[in-house]
Amino acid sequence: MITSGIEEKTFILNLGPQHPSTHGVLRVLLEMDGEYIAAAEPVIGYGHRAHEHMAENRNYHQFLPNMGRVDYLHALAYNHGYCMAVEKLIGVVVPERAEYIRVITNELNRITSHLLWFGAYLMDLGAFTPFLYCFDDREHILDLLDRITGSRLTYCFFRFGGVPVDLDDDFIFGCRAFIKRLRSRWVDYHNLVTKNVIFIHRAKGVGVFTKEQCLLYGITGPSLRGSGIAYDIRKSEPYSAYPLFNFDIPTGENGDIFDRYIVRLEEMEQSCRIIEQALDKLPNGPIMAEKVPKRIKPAAGEVYQAVETARGSFGTYIVSQGDIKPYRIKLRVPSFANLSLMVESFKDNLVADVVAILGSIDVVIPEIDR
């Protein structure tokens, strides 16, 4: 607990909630010894919107749009997790084509999230230009998803029992063209960023998360895989159509910023592979399950469903008491756990490293506050 630094030759630096690199409204109190961090304490809650409480006052359908706003960068994974949990609760089986569409859109959304991270992260390190290149790439996906979902950021696309809109030929063609384009861009990104001496020196050996720390704090997602633990909900607790596709789980070795960076770039490539396979094998058939009740009133019970978002494992825990409204919805968000370890790793680093580590975790503040 940070109280006062007056007696001890240290002082308090308030980082955020208005700071260019806290990615929204995170506030971190840093106890500084010169430019080195002696202790750090995050203050969260500036983006609190009471999503979990809202769930208790709405019926199941009405809560669906909220899911696009918890983690606005990978909204479809949240759609997916919540829809699957409710489907489990009311016993609806999603048709195969709908599962494929869910996987394709989900992976596209994952790529947008990682691309945005890539650009924003390098901006944290002081390189402005990659940001705009990533946004250029990302724009293509947004256009594609805009065609079928009708929105560009806070998607509310999945429905209980399937998806409302089918993929058309333009989308499929556009998808393939995008993957080709994205792959052609890797060369530039790697030459200009991954092999950049300054970047390597900023990233290698900084912000190391050990395996033990990761397990202790419940870290998930690329941050965990960067430390060398190949844990991915898509593989370990397969859901939707993911078991049907071949893809690898990229892992790092040292658990430093550089490994997390490489893991994310690799994941984009794996997402491309999944999308390609899904497009190749896309089955025909309905996109919506039959007999989905208009008025959802599940029997009393509890259900948990985890999905892999761009930041880690997201779990939806629903308690129903047989009402049209859920009794309680608990969202297990990855950024919250990741933030706890991150603050731990600030110690004895420079202010510049704080920004670098903060960025490398890819926190989304509304997700932490939910």
Partner 1 sequence: MDMLASTLGTEGARMIVGLIGVIALVSVNALFLIWMERKVSAHMQLRPGPMEVGWHGAIQTIADALKLMGKELITPEEVDRPVYYLAPVVVFLPVLLTFLVIPFSQKMIIKDMNVGIVLILAFSTLSVLAILMAGWSSNNKYSVFGAIRSVAQNIAYEIPLLVTVMSIILMVGSFKLTDIVAAQGRYWFILVQPLAFILYIICATAETNRTPFDLPEAESELVAGFHTEYSGMRFALFFLAEYTNMFIVSAVATVLFLGGWHGPILPGFIWFLIKVYALIFLIMWFRWTFPRVRFDQLVTFAWKILIPLSFANLLITALFLKLF
Give Cα separations from 46 to 13, 75, 351 (angstroms). Answer: 18, 20, 22
Which one of residues 86, 125, 364, 368 is an interface residue with partner 1 (CB under 8 A)? 125
Q: Are 71 and 363 in contact (CB under 8 A)?
A: no
Q: Does 69 bind partner 1 (CB under 8 A)?
A: no
Window contacting partner 1 (CB under 8 A); options: 218-226, 266-274, 313-321, 352-360: 352-360
Q: Does 192 bind partner 1 (CB under 8 A)?
A: yes
Q: Provide the minimum distance between the beta carbon of 34 and partner 1 in the complex, in angstroms, as a whole number.
A: 8
Q: Are 295 and 110 in contact (CB under 8 A)?
A: no
Question: What's the per-residue H, E or C state across 316-363?
Answer: EEEEECCCCCCCEEEEECHHHHHHHHHHHHCCCCEHHHHHHHHHHHCC
Q: Does 191 bind partner 1 (CB under 8 A)?
A: no
Distance linking the first and last C-alpha atoms of the chain = 24
Question: Beta-strand (E) ranges in the chain?
Answer: 11-15, 27-33, 36-43, 301-309, 312-320, 328-332
Hey, which residues between 49 and 68 contact partner 1 (CB under 8 A)?
Answer: none
> Residue 251: CA atoms inside 13 Å, Cβ hemisphere, count?
13
Closer to partner 1 by Cβ: residue 198 or 300:
198
Q: How many residues at the interface with partner 1, by CB under 8 A?
A: 30
Which one of residues 126, 205, 283, 293 is an interface residue with partner 1 (CB under 8 A)? 126
Q: Does 279 bind partner 1 (CB under 8 A)?
A: no
Window contacting partner 1 (CB under 8 A); options: 15-23, 219-227, 317-325, 333-341: 15-23
CB contact set of 207 (below 8 Å; sequence gap of 6+): 256, 257, 342, 345, 349, 353, 356, 357, 360
Q: Does 39 bind partner 1 (CB under 8 A)?
A: no
Window contacting partner 1 (CB under 8 A); options: 119-127, 264-272, 274-282, 299-307: 119-127
Which one of residues 152, 201, 281, 297 is an interface residue with partner 1 (CB under 8 A)? 201
Nearest 10 degrees: Cα torsion 305, 311, 312, 315:
-20
Give Cα separations from 17 to 283, 289, 364 (angstroms). Answer: 48, 45, 13
Window contacting partner 1 (CB under 8 A); options: 44-52, 102-110, 227-235, 350-358: 350-358
Q: Are 240 and 269 in contact (CB under 8 A)?
A: no
Which one of residues 4, 57, 62, 129 is an interface residue with partner 1 (CB under 8 A)? 129
Q: Provide the minimum distance between the beta carbon of 131 and partner 1 in the complex, in angstroms, as a whole number.
A: 8
Burial of 351 (0-12, 13-18, 19+ CB in 10 A): middle
Closer to partner 1 by Cβ: residue 115 or 163:
115
Which one of residues 2, 5, 11, 292 is an interface residue with partner 1 (CB under 8 A)? 11
Query: Could you count the other beta carbons within 10 Å of the beta carbon of residue 230?
Result: 12
Rounded to the nearest 10 degrees, the angle between the axes of helix 257-281 and helix 351-361 is 20
Q: Does 363 bind partner 1 (CB under 8 A)?
A: no
Closer to partner 1 by Cβ: residue 40 or 219:
40
Q: Provide the minimum distance between the beta carbon of 198 and partner 1 in the complex, in angstroms, as a whole number.
A: 5
Q: Does 8 bind partner 1 (CB under 8 A)?
A: no
What distance in Å separates the CA atoms of residue 355 and residue 363, rounded to the nearest whole number?
12
What distance in Å separates the CA atoms of residue 186 and residue 182, rounded to the nearest whole number?
7
Place of tokens 């859109």: 105
Window contacting partner 1 (CB under 8 A); options: 130-138, 234-242, 253-261, 269-277: 130-138
Which one of residues 50, 93, 132, 177 is an interface residue with partner 1 (CB under 8 A)? 132
Q: Does 153 bind partner 1 (CB under 8 A)?
A: no
The contact pattern for partner 1, residues 88-117, with x = CB under 8 A and - = no contact, is: ------------------------------
> What is the chain's Cα-based Rg?
21
Interface positions with partner 1 (CB under 8 A) = 11, 13-14, 19-21, 35, 122-129, 132-133, 136, 192, 196, 198-199, 201-202, 350-355
